């Protein structure tokens, strides 16, 4: 994260330094990527305490710099900021003229923020450190969702196994049959697995096995 705060000593905000179109990165997150339940931001305090931004920036610039980072988490796309300094000034409750003066400093409020291309071609500002924390958070969110889905599927299949055992105890021990019927019920949009639905799943499994048997016979020389 050191690189998130260290720079060449020159303000890199696109508002003050012309950037060629070829230098504008595509922002990897879209307007659909949200972290609505993400109420905290992981912060590597030691790197921040020893960063150039903290050691060389003025107290006011440091405060606004942190404000803008936290504000970006509620923007769309998440982790970006508008490129208009007047809007940024309103967001941090600072006079626009004063904001522009601060941003012209080597370690101003927009230190290491750079232009990026978002959905629809909109040009906004992004920060590599903010983007990194967001991609890690989204990855954790996807991992948690996958784990929850796997746990829910296991519980759902266990309930189905118990129900099937009431019809055919041996069939309830057949993992392949259980998986087939569970997936069939899901594909049919079945939300409540009543006896009627379970019996349909049993019939679907029977039809499936019959089709496999007929295919095997037809493949014989």
pLDDT tens digits in sequence order for the chain, 221 residues long: 333 433 333 333 444 444 444 578 999 998 887 776 666 777 788 989 999 999 999 999 999 999 999 999 999 999 999 999 999 999 999 999 999 999 999 999 999 999 999 988 999 999 999 999 888 877 777 777 788 888 999 999 999 999 999 999 999 999 999 999 999 999 999 989 999 999 999 999 999 999 888 888 887 76
pLDDT at 17: 47
Instruction: Check whether the bond before 77 is cis (ω within 30° of 0).
Output: yes
Residues 49, 132: one domain? yes
pLDDT at 14: 40
Cα distance between residue 63 and residue 206, in whole Å: 68
pLDDT at 149: 87
Residues 128, 171: one domain? no
- pTM for this predicted structure: 0.61
- Residue 81 falls inside a structural domain: yes
Structural domain including 197 reads 166-218
pLDDT at 39: 65
pLDDT at 20: 44
Residues 37, 125: one domain? yes
pLDDT at 188: 93
- Can you say whether the dihedral through the CA atoms of 156, 161, 163, 167 is positive or negative? positive
Residues 104, 31: one domain? yes
pLDDT at 136: 84
Residues 180, 128: one domain? no
- Residue 151 falls inside a structural domain: no
- Residue 143 falls inside a structural domain: no
Cα distance between residue 115 and residue 129, in whole Å: 14
Residues 175, 102: one domain? no
- What residues pair up with 115 in beta bridges, in sequence order? 125
Order of strands, edge to edge, in the sheet holding 80-81? 25-26, 114-117, 123-126, 80-81
- Residue 161 falls inside a structural domain: no
Residues 68, 131: one domain? yes
């Amino acid at each position: 994260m050191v690189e998130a705060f260290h720079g060449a000593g020159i303000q890199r905000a696109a508002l003050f330094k012309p950037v060629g179109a070829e230098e504008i990165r595509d922002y990897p997150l879209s307007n659909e990527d949200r972290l609505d339940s993400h109420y905290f931001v992981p912060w590597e305090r030691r790197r921040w305490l020893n960063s150039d931004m903290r050691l060389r920036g003025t107290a006011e610039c440091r405060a606004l710099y942190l404000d803008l980072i936290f504000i970006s988490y509620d923007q769309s796309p998440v982790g970006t900021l508008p490129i208009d300094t007047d809007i940024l000034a309103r967001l941090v409750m600072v006079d626009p003229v004063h904001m522009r003066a601060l941003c012209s400093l080597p370690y101003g409020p927009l230190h290491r923020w750079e232009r990026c291309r978002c959905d629809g071609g909109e040009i906004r500002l992004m920060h590599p450190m903010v983007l990194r924390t967001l991609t890690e958070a989204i990855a954790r969110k996807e991992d948690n969702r996958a784990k929850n889905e796997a746990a829910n599927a296991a519980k759902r299949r266990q309930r189905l196994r118990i129900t099937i055992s009431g019809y055919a105890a041996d069939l309830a021990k057949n993992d392949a049959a259980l998986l087939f019927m569970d997936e069939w019920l899901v594909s049919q949009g079945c939300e409540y697995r009543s006896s009627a639905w379970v019996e349909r799943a049993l019939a679907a499994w029977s039809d499936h096995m019959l089709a496999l048997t007929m295919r095997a016979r037809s493949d014989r020389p």
